[in-house]
Amino acid sequence: MQKESDCIFGLRPVIEAIKAGKQIDRLLIKQGLQGQLYHELMTEVKKNGIVYQIVPVERIELVTRKNHQGVLAWLSVIEYQHIANLLPMIYEKGDDPLIVALDGVSDVRNFGAIVRSAECLGAHAVLIPEKGSARITADAVKTSAGALHSFPVCREKSIVKSIEYLKESGLKIISATEKSGIEASKAQLTGPAVLIMGSEEKGISRELLALTDQEIIIPMTGKIGSLNVSVAAGILIYEIIRQRSS
């Protein structure tokens, strides 16, 4: 659970943080909250597209019993970017973009390890949705070996729309799935690309599989039939970079 030391609370402190341009990673608002400051808060929340949850006051008081006024927020540990702003910059450098999209990867340590592999091996960014993704915490930063402080992470409202945008921009959509596809080493993985990794529980959503140009697998020879998602991501990023360099 996120701790009181990681968050800010109270109507005015949260409003002022938003107005100052601080990125809010998570926002909880008490059910039934009313008043002028509440309406000012909601104006800022909607203007800035901040995702929030309406929750019972008990949910907030699991974190703090101080004078929270029914509002609890966590500031982002990193500054998120937008893929539409980042993609032209990658092309301007003369690179073929490699974006790693995470569909439902919610474990913070897996997330941190994937970012570390992406940075070390030469990918350009990690793409995540606002909802259903790992929260970037101190544990995630530690597991990334600090890569999260410098490596671009794009957090978008809709990962499906973001993948559609990337596909329209000329990137090949590659999905890692155990259910079908060809071995990664035998697939054609060169050129601008998005590598989609799904959660270990649900895999990749149908909507994203429908946008996929190439499904790939990592061949298994052991008794255990699957790899941890961060390990699988590292192997596949390496294979894509290997094919590009050769």
Burial profile 215-242: b = 16 or more Cβ within 10 angstroms, e = fewer:
bbbbeeeeeeeebebbebbbebbebbee
Domain boundaries 4-75, corresponding CATH code: 3.30.1330.30
Q: Measure the CA–CA gap between 195 and 212, rounded to whole angstroms.
A: 10
Structural domain spans, the chain: 4-75, 83-245
Most confident of 79-83, 161-165, 218-222: 161-165
Q: Measure the CA–CA gap between 240 and 180, rounded to whole angstroms.
A: 18
Residue 4 above 90 pLDDT?
no
- pLDDT band at residue 40 using 50, 70 and 90 as cut-offs: very high
- pLDDT band at residue 2 using 50, 70 and 90 as cut-offs: low
Average of pLDDT values for 45-63? 91
Q: Do residues 60 and 169 lie in contact, with contact meaning Cβ atoms separated by under 8 Å?
A: no
CATH superfamily of 83-245: SPOUT methyltransferase, trefoil knot domain (3.40.1280.10)
Q: pTM of this prediction? A: 0.83
The two domains 4-75 and 83-245 share their CATH topology (first three levels equal):
no
Output the CA angle 139-60-106, nearest 5 degrees. 35
Residue 225 above 80 pLDDT?
no
Structure confidence by residue, pLDDT tens digits, 118-131: 999 999 999 999 88
